[in-house]
Amino acid sequence: MKKFIFFCLLFVSSVNYAQVISGPVKDVGRKMTGEPSFIIEGMKDGWAKYDLSVDINGKVTSVAMVETNLKSTPAKTMLRNHVKKYTFEPGTYYPKYHHVVVKVTMLKGDMGDPQIELD
């Protein structure tokens, strides 16, 4: 029953979690490629806002935390590693480094033994 409620919550309120908040990337309409996930399963419930720098190839080159309600460093690291995998539309007409602020949510779930990659 818990899993059913969890998936219903994800399905019904996914629009509230999927957030590209602000920045020049949003202003010019540069889209994310693939199917980005703004909700990840983790060890805590919480969220974080990150300022991403995107190059002309569409890859995220740097990540800076803007705001969070998480106190757990491993949880913050999991979110940071997750947003580093985002990709955006490539294009030579975009600036060398474009910035955008995204909000990512972590929901507590069964993870087993988490493997955290430290960069």
| 99 assigned to some structural domain | yes
| 80 assigned to some structural domain | yes
> What's the domain range around 25?
2-108
| 76 assigned to some structural domain | yes
Residue 110 pLDDT greater than 70, yes or no: no
- Average of per-residue pLDDT across 95-99: 82
| 115 assigned to some structural domain | no
| 119 assigned to some structural domain | no
Question: At a CB cut-off of 8 Å and minimum separation 6, what does 58 contact?
Answer: 33, 87, 88, 89, 90, 91
| 10 assigned to some structural domain | yes
| 114 assigned to some structural domain | no
What CATH number is associated with residue 65?
3.30.2420
**Contact by Cβ (8 Å): 97, 61:** yes
| 70 assigned to some structural domain | yes
Predicted confidence (pLDDT) per residue in 38-90, tens digit: 888 888 899 999 998 988 888 889 999 999 998 988 889 998 999 999 888 88
Tokens 């602020």: give the residue: 101
Number of domains in the chain: 1
19 vs 72, higher pLDDT:
72
Three-state DSSP class for residue 105: strand
**Contact by Cβ (8 Å): 74, 116:** yes
- Average of per-residue pLDDT across 29-35: 78
